[in-house]
Amino acid sequence: MTNKKTPRILVIAGSDSGGGAGIQADIKTITMLGGHAMTAITAITAQNTLGVSAVHPVPTEMVLAQIDAVVGDIGVDAIKLGMIGSAFTAEQVALRLEGIDVPIVFDPVMIATSGAALADDATIAAFGRLMDRATLTTPNLPELKRLTGDDDPIAGALSLVSRHRCAVLVKGGHEEGDALADALIEEDNLTSWQGQRIDTTSTHGTGCTLASAIAFHLGCGESLARAVERARLFVRMALHEAPGLGHGPGPLGQQGVRLDCGAGPRLNQVTVTGKDYAEMTAFYRALGLRQIVDAPENHYARFESVGGATFSIQIDPEEVISESTAVYFECDDLDQRVERLARAGTAFEHGPRDQPWMWREARLRDPAGNTVFLYKGGEARRYPPWRLIESVAPAATAE
């Protein structure tokens, strides 16, 4: 067991049957960041990357019952609001949130990426009640203009901050050009971020993903600016990892963002020294690593493993290779992989062996003499029978 508190994030939003946006994107985001996602579903939609073909709002009393059920038992550290479903639901949710004192991120969903309307005029008019309760509102540029009627996004955001006393994140994704800028406008501060547009059509669910990631980090106790900064990184990595599904704007790849974001130090990069660039790169490619940097002129190469961890080599013919350190690559197909590599000419010091520490290992050396293990630890890697026992922190409850 662990004494690390898991952030509990409640998402009040609609369901996307295509899995690109809505509740599905929210759950994937919160889960990949390490939180516990809870839901109050406000609407069921039939949609895919090409559009929304049907919307069925969930009755307001059922939305409220979902909120009460999870908050009353599990508790909550932050809330994300997305598609609301109806004006009455918006008003009743706003009333219910008055008794829950946690950060709230409101993504005022009005139109799907495909262009389908997801909120009518009455519902949009009721959004003010939710912004009154929100810590942060995250409209895209068309949504910001619809909420304020102002062509100037900064002026429009300032008016929302003044009227509702919530911060506003002005998102620049709908701007033209490759340069993007986002601005966090608070009552007494303005923070901006610049970046380059990522060349992808898989942008369905970016707003949901960003808002959920911000809510997660606020639930961890981060400052608002820091939460936005870390959430932006998650979204950008998910855009890079997009799987390219569907015939229209596709979903993000939240499932591919593992070691790029998170609290505390993360072991995601190891470098070893080699003597011959071509031999070293060929060796690690043969093991199954994917080379992502090829810089022989700089005597450097980098590889990526499943899960996102990177491994690199630097070339120095004069370096003395130490035997005191070993690099381990876990393989679920250990025996089959070792047999395949051996048949292809890779020399092993010993083949797969069961070890007293409950791992199965095969040992070899790279061309420079660095010790390398291919192994299968499974559950015993992180949870061996002799793992140190830690106390469990009591779960906090929302007042």
75 is catalytic: no
Helix or strand (DSSP H, E) at 76: none
Residue type, 344: A
Catalytic residue among 171, 219, 273, 331: 171
Q: Which residue has the tokens 């660095």?
A: 370
CB 135 within 8 A of CB 105: yes
206 is catalytic: yes
> H helices within 34-120, ranges in order?
60-73, 87-97
| Spatial CB neighbours of 274, under 8 Å, sequence gap ≥ 6 | 280, 313, 314, 315, 316, 366, 367, 368, 370
CA 389 remoteness from chain centre: 29
User: Pick from 138, 113, 315: which is nearest to 210 by CA?
Assistant: 138
Catalytic residue among 85, 172, 207, 253: 207
List the structure tokens of 351: 């083949």
What length does the chain have?
A: 399
Catalytic residue among 208, 220, 261, 331: 208
How far is the CA of 170 from the CAs of 51, 167, 219, 246, in angstroms?
A: 25, 10, 21, 29
How far is the CA of 80 from the CAs of 74, 155, 166, 254, in angstroms?
A: 16, 25, 14, 17
User: Pick from 133, 41, 146, 55: which is nearest to 95 by CA?
Assistant: 133
Tell me how far apart the alpha carbons of residues 70 and 73 are, in angstroms, rounded to a whole number. 5
49 is catalytic: no
Catalytic residue among 20, 205, 219, 274: 205
List the structure tokens of 343: 């048949």
Tell me how far apart the alpha carbons of residues 169 and 157 are, in angstroms, rounded to a whole number. 8
Tell me how far apart the alpha carbons of residues 327 and 267 are, in angstroms, rounded to a whole number. 13
Catalytic residue among 49, 148, 203, 209: 203
205 is catalytic: yes
203 is catalytic: yes
Tell me how far apart the alpha carbons of residues 20 and 56 are, in angstroms, rounded to a whole number. 18
Catalytic residue among 39, 123, 148, 206: 206
Edge-first strand listing for the sheet containing 136-137: 51-57, 36-48, 8-16, 78-81, 104-106, 136-137, 167-170, 179-186, 189-196
- Parallel/antiparallel/unpaired status of strands 136-137 and 104-106: parallel
261 is catalytic: no
Catalytic residues: 171, 203, 205-208
